[in-house]
Chain A
């Protein structure tokens, strides 16, 4: 295969994928608004485009499938048929098979799909086997019989072609091209008018740029440190003064550059949200429930890595909501609720975080049932159950091995629980919160950082070693005397304004020799997964913005290297480990955990 050909095929894969991604959403939209001409034409054009290119590239199965699909779409577009759910089911099935065919192209596995069934179904619809609106056959039907073989096309000059009798279909589209007015701006085209000027860049190249900027930031930080040292030493030197000025400028530019590079990796959450209308439609249909999906804030942008990893947790939450949350139609009517359930999916930006919410108006989570289940599964003790608040009890759904589903359904209950959702989100430095009300519904609130690469940290010192604690987790810092630390069972605690807060010693966790006998020390009070605990350190060094670098290999001498989120290089050139606060939580004796 020539390089040129390979490049064209790669392009075809990317572009077709983009089209297919958009199709699902358009189809679901179409089901709501069956006679939307603009939408129908757009869908038709998409499938048509794929067919055209596939024909050149010799992907005969794609041509065969898109051809049959296109014929049905044409009838829908021309108003000869209506897009009933039954017809949509078949078309969506065809799109699914198209996805598979594209996979084969991508994998170059030369595999073929059995198209006979889907082609038969599409042809049946097209020839009026299913829900025909009008009985009169249009000339469009004739095109079916013609083959798409390039060799069959004997060249014809326009004059030869002219006598060809054609009755133009009466659909609005057929009339459209005849319009002479160049200034017309019909609604459907508005969207495509501000076509984005884009170029495709390999992600690896972007990552390299991001990495280099990361290094640049570290260099900038060092340079700033050195500059400030020089300033304090040679305050009167004019050279130092201009160095400071240049440094200030460089500082600003670096920050801007960093932000700009970061933005190149940002993508709208639409990319993930796009596939949900189709999913919700299919799920609701298979469960005989009526569910309306309302999506807001789909243009909110987040880092690519967040986009890639947020889909699975969201799929899980949405499946849960439809399977367990939203009731069947009659049950809803009995409760005096609208028969159609509502599922809200929203995204918004709050400072440096993105907040994603999944909310249903279903039956809500039964807290008592959660408690019983947790007890049954031996996840908690009876004593714990009795002293726990409702909000705390609700947190049990995130425990490994927990599942409230009464029976395993084909939708949820596939052995992955909410604990996986929580872990997946934690990997993105995100947190999840659940709010529920009996018979009113359930709302999951997910909070994620916009980017994973750069974080604000609090620098602390333990036995002469510096560590970074992510600032987002820090609630406060307190200075206490040695005798204020008490021990309950084996857990060291302090009393903070009447509240018992367990504490952990970094020195012990990291097996650094520590006499533990300092008269005074600092406690960094942190919040992880809604639980509060203190980290004992010798000194607070201040706040610094750091670029996270992954630590490769095992970190020796550590009780558990999982408490290390990564490493960074500080302004003074030292390598500093970044603490993963959520992972430290495992070393706090559970019963002593104070809730925020």
Chain B
């Protein structure tokens, strides 16, 4: 599984949501977490220092999650960064676009720590199994 010390960026425009996600991540033993309010801010942070994992919301003002994902994948420095997209059930239809854009996995909110753990494990498996 991922190193508990890895640096995670939580991206969401709603600060309550950022705290919730952070809280769930903490339950899983991750404590090295930073936040960004939207895709644009996230990219700025990602380019400023090394992050190991991104958990991002979808619908945000000033660069949404999908666009951020595409930018990450097209950036030579960032392209291998694991990205987990948080979506709502109503946005399921759009997941396809995210998959095409190269998202590592997605999780539907509200989710439990257990579900998040499973998703992260799946990502880890895919990345390092082969």
With A and B bound together, what is the CA distance between A16 and B15 in angstroms? 10
Answer yes or no: A415 CB below 8 A from chain B CBs: no
Proximity string of chain B (114-125) to chain A, C-beta cutoff 8 Å, 1 when within and 0 when not: 010011001000
- 5 interchain residue pairs of minimum CB distance: A55-B110, A192-B61, A177-B66, A166-B93, A56-B110
Q: State which of B14, B66, B112 has its C-beta within 8 Å of the C-beta of A52.
A: B14
Name B101-130 residues within 8 Å CB distance of A. Answer: 103-106, 108-112, 115, 118-119, 122, 126
Residue pair A153, B16 in contact (C-beta under 8 Å): no
- Which residues of A are found within 8 Å of B98, using beta-carbon distances? 158
Answer yes or no: A139 CB below 8 A from chain B CBs: yes
Answer yes or no: B37 CB below 8 A from chain A CBs: yes
Residue pair A49, B108 in contact (C-beta under 8 Å): no
Q: State which of A56, A158, A180 has its C-beta within 8 Å of the C-beta of B99.
A: A158
With A and B bound together, what is the CA distance between A179 and B38 in angstroms? 17
- Which residues of B are found within 8 Å of A195, using beta-carbon distances? 37-38, 62
CB distance from A398 to the nearest CB of B (A): 45
Proximity string of chain A (15-26) to chain B, C-beta cutoff 8 Å, 1 when within and 0 when not: 110000000000
- Which residues of B are found within 8 Å of A146, using beta-carbon distances? 89
Name A223-245 residues within 8 Å CB distance of B. Answer: none
Name B25-54 residues within 8 Å CB distance of A. Answer: 37-38
Residue pair B88, A15 in contact (C-beta under 8 Å): no
Contact flag A55-B14 (CB < 8 Å), given A192-B62, A193-B62: no
Q: State which of B15, B89, B109 has its C-beta within 8 Å of the C-beta of A15.
A: B15
CB distance from B111 to the nearest CB of A (A): 6
Residue pair B20, A53 in contact (C-beta under 8 Å): yes
Nearest B-chain residue to A11, judged by Cβ:
B16
- Which residues of B are found within 8 Å of A150, using beta-carbon distances? 110-112, 115
Residue pair A15, B96 in contact (C-beta under 8 Å): no
Residue pair B67, A177 in contact (C-beta under 8 Å): yes
Contact flag A48-B105 (CB < 8 Å), given A153-B111, A177-B94: no
Q: State which of A53, A74, A177 has its C-beta within 8 Å of the C-beta of B16.
A: A53
Can you report 14 residue pairs joining A to B where beta carbons are below 8 Å apart?
A48-B88, A55-B109, A56-B109, A57-B20, A143-B92, A146-B89, A155-B118, A155-B122, A157-B122, A158-B105, A164-B92, A168-B97, A180-B70, A189-B61
Answer yes or no: A174 CB below 8 A from chain B CBs: yes
Residue pair A182, B71 in contact (C-beta under 8 Å): yes
Given A151-B112, A166-B96: 12 more A-B contacts, CB < 8 Å: A7-B19, A11-B15, A11-B19, A15-B14, A52-B17, A140-B90, A153-B108, A155-B118, A157-B122, A158-B99, A177-B94, A189-B62
With A and B bound together, what is the CA distance between A4 and B19 in angstroms? 9
CB distance from A418 to the nearest CB of B (A): 42
Name A51-108 residues within 8 Å CB distance of B. Answer: 51-53, 55-57, 70-71, 74
Answer yes or no: A264 CB below 8 A from chain B CBs: no
Among B89, B95, B112, chain A packs the most CB atoms within 10 A around the CB of B89
Residue pair A8, B66 in contact (C-beta under 8 Å): no
Interface size class for chain B? 35 or more
Interface size class for chain A? 35 or more
Answer yes or no: A162 CB below 8 A from chain B CBs: yes
Name B77-101 residues within 8 Å CB distance of A. Answer: 88-90, 92-99
**Chain A facing B: main interface SS:** helix
Answer yes or no: A377 CB below 8 A from chain B CBs: no
Contact flag A174-B122 (CB < 8 Å), given A49-B13, A146-B89: no
**Chain B facing A: main interface SS:** helix
CB distance from B123 to the nearest CB of A (A): 9
Contact flag A177-B90 (CB < 8 Å), given A15-B14, A150-B111: no
Residue pair A168, B94 in contact (C-beta under 8 Å): yes
CB distance from B62 to the nearest CB of A (A): 5
Residue pair B19, A158 in contact (C-beta under 8 Å): no
Residue pair B14, A53 in contact (C-beta under 8 Å): yes
Proximity string of chain A (164-183) to chain B, C-beta cutoff 8 Å, 1 when within and 0 when not: 10111100001001111010
Answer yes or no: A161 CB below 8 A from chain B CBs: yes
- Which residues of B are found within 8 Å of A71, using beta-carbon distances? 90
- Which residues of B are found within 8 Å of A55, using beta-carbon distances? 109-110
Answer yes or no: A148 CB below 8 A from chain B CBs: yes
Q: State which of A7, A15, A74, A178 has its C-beta within 8 Å of the C-beta of B97.
A: A178
CB distance from A102 to the nearest CB of B (A): 12
- Which residues of A are found within 8 Å of B62, using beta-carbon distances? 189, 192-193, 195
Answer yes or no: A522 CB below 8 A from chain B CBs: no
Answer yes or no: A285 CB below 8 A from chain B CBs: no
Residue pair A15, B106 in contact (C-beta under 8 Å): no
CB distance from A371 to the nearest CB of B (A): 56
With A and B bound together, what is the CA distance between A161 and B70 in angstroms? 19
- Which residues of A are found within 8 Å of B64, using beta-carbon distances? 177
Nearest B-chain residue to A200, judged by Cβ:
B15
Nearest A-chain residue to B116, judged by Cβ:
A155
Nearest A-chain residue to B37, judged by Cβ:
A195
Nearest A-chain residue to B109, judged by Cβ:
A52
- Which residues of B are found within 8 Å of A5, using beta-carbon distances? 23
CB distance from A200 to the nearest CB of B (A): 9
Answer yes or no: A12 CB below 8 A from chain B CBs: yes
Residue pair B23, A8 in contact (C-beta under 8 Å): yes
Answer yes or no: A531 CB below 8 A from chain B CBs: no
Q: State which of B66, B90, B109, B112 has its C-beta within 8 Å of the C-beta of A70.
A: B90
Answer yes or no: A508 CB below 8 A from chain B CBs: no
Among A56, A143, A189, A193, chain B packs the most CB atoms within 10 A around the CB of A56
- Which residues of A are found within 8 Å of B20, using beta-carbon distances? 8, 53, 56-57
With A and B bound together, what is the CA distance between A174 and B119 in angstroms? 26
Nearest B-chain residue to A7, judged by Cβ:
B19
- Which residues of B are found within 8 Å of A178, using beta-carbon distances? 97
Answer yes or no: A45 CB below 8 A from chain B CBs: yes
With A and B bound together, what is the CA distance between A270 and B70 in angstroms? 38
With A and B bound together, what is the CA distance between A15 and B14 in angstroms? 8
Q: State which of A56, A158, A164, A177 has its C-beta within 8 Å of the C-beta of B103.
A: A158
CB distance from B2 to the nearest CB of A (A): 16
